Chain A
Amino acid sequence: MALSPRSPVPPGERLGLGPVPSHRDLFFGLLQVAMSAFGGGLSAWSQRIVVEERRWMSNESFLTALTVARLFPGPNQINMAVFIGTSFHGLSGALVALAGMLLLPFSLLMLLGLVYFQVHQIPAVDRILAGVVAAAAGMALSMGFKILHTYWRDPVALALAAATFVAMVVLQVRLVPLVLVAGPLAMAWYWPRTPRQGEGP
């Protein structure tokens, strides 16, 4: 079958769903997601607005979108918006959805950035930042631990992760060559043995 721009949301599945969103709807819908998520929980807000409130796609399609967004390179939430936009209007839909998702929070952060570069040398500001930065570093540290349990029962995966760590920290291998060399090797190891195999290792 040829590529269909509607592939993730087949027409039959639109029973019980709202009408196909226009470009305008996509922009404002994702703007609403971005604004609702100002306290956090972007993913939950996307689901609530896109699936429950606006009924653009079924929950199943939404979960597919989430899977694809996590699989491919790029920020998950941005990829998610791109997937939703693409499902309805191809590339132009993707760009509109991306703009809706990003424009407001990004512009706000840039405003903050401008203020930061003006004031960061003031001693009182620097003292407060020293604390905030220590907390943010703790958040960065937790990222690896957060997904560690997924690989806990797979010794090869743990060895791969450890080798990656040693290569980058001790041997100072840079990210791009590392991924280009280790990526294909790891893919060869995890290549599905039988074509229909779907379960995890």
Chain B
Amino acid sequence: MIPAAALLGCSAPAPADNWLQLAEVIRIFLSLSLFSLGGGNTLLAEYHRLSVEEYCWLSPTQFADLYALAEAAPGPSSMIVGLLGMGAAWREGPLWALVSAYGAELAILFPSTLLMVVACLSWNRLRDSPWRVAFERGLGPITLGILFVVGLKIVRTSNHGLSAYLVSGVVCVLMLRTRLSPLWFMAVAGALGGMGVIQR
């Protein structure tokens, strides 16, 4: 397989050594953890920038695929980070890819988990603190803005043809207007894709 880096011209050179590569993956996700506002989805555009544009772990298509995979799989959000870690080390073989995947997920969860433990233990004092109120009200609108950035980024990465944009638009409306499980939308769209209706 041709390394993505050779095709896309990355801004960051690939580390020479597997361990250095792993350390870099862990460092990147550790440093982003505390910025995962709004349940963590705010980080998706940053994940795209890092894994596709800066480090070239993935092609844009692969990123879109992994996002869909993580959305379709059951479980808490943020698990896409494991897939990104896997992509970062895929060239070194499946074993390193798995190590990198677990490392990346632990890295993104570790700082926010520690903060959560502190928050839980001191919640009785935090609850009425003006800091808590200001944080909640102030960061809310910023989160809103970022979520729209993320939506736009994912839509543009995922779609290239009119039919694909149409499917995204319809799913967006259905997500807001119905309580159907999104798995249905992905199943139907997957079938349409299999029939060649949706191109990318």
Contacts and interface: CB of A to CB of B under 8 A. Distances in A.
B3 interface: no
The B interface is mostly helix, strand or loop, or mixed, namely helix
Nearest to A180: B35
A160 interface: yes
Given A131-B193, A133-B200, A134-B164, A144 B151 contact: yes
Given A134-B198, A138-B167, A160 B74 contact: no
Contact of B46 (A133, A143, A169, A175): A175
A129 B59 CA distance: 14
A168 B186 contact: no
Interface in A172-201: 174-176, 178-179, 182-183, 185-192, 195, 197-198, 200-201
B62 A120 contact: yes
B142 A179 contact: yes
A138 B145 contact: no
B154 interface: yes
B195 to A, nearest CB: 8
B33 interface: yes
Given A76-B39, A131-B167, A164 B70 contact: no
A75 B145 contact: no
Given A7-B121, A113-B101, A138-B185, A192 B197 contact: no
Contact of B175 (A113, A146, A197): A146
Interface in A80-116: 82-83, 86-87, 90-91, 94-95, 98, 101-102, 104-106, 108-110, 112-114, 116
B73 A105 contact: yes
Given A130-B193, A130-B198, A134-B198, A190 B117 contact: no
A87 B46 CA distance: 33
Contacts of A77: 75-77
B82 A110 contact: yes
A83 B145 contact: no
Given A109-B79, A133-B68, A141-B155, A91 B34 contact: no
A40 B74 contact: yes
A192 B144 contact: no
A137 B20 CA distance: 33
A77 B41 CA distance: 13
Contacts of A112: 69, 73
Contacts of A178: 142, 146
B112 to A, nearest CB: 3
Contact of A39 (B74, B98, B130, B190): B74
A68 B123 contact: yes
B145 A163 contact: yes
Interface in B100-148: 101-102, 105, 109, 112-113, 115-117, 119-124, 130-148
13 contacts: A7-B120, A82-B120, A94-B120, A113-B82, A130-B198, A131-B190, A136-B71, A136-B158, A144-B148, A146-B176, A165-B145, A174-B49, A179-B35
Interface of B: 31-46, 49, 62, 64-79, 82-83, 86-87, 90, 94, 97-98, 101-102, 105, 109, 112-113, 115-117, 119-124, 130-152, 154-155, 157-159, 163-165, 167-172, 174-176, 181-183, 185-186, 188-194, 196-200
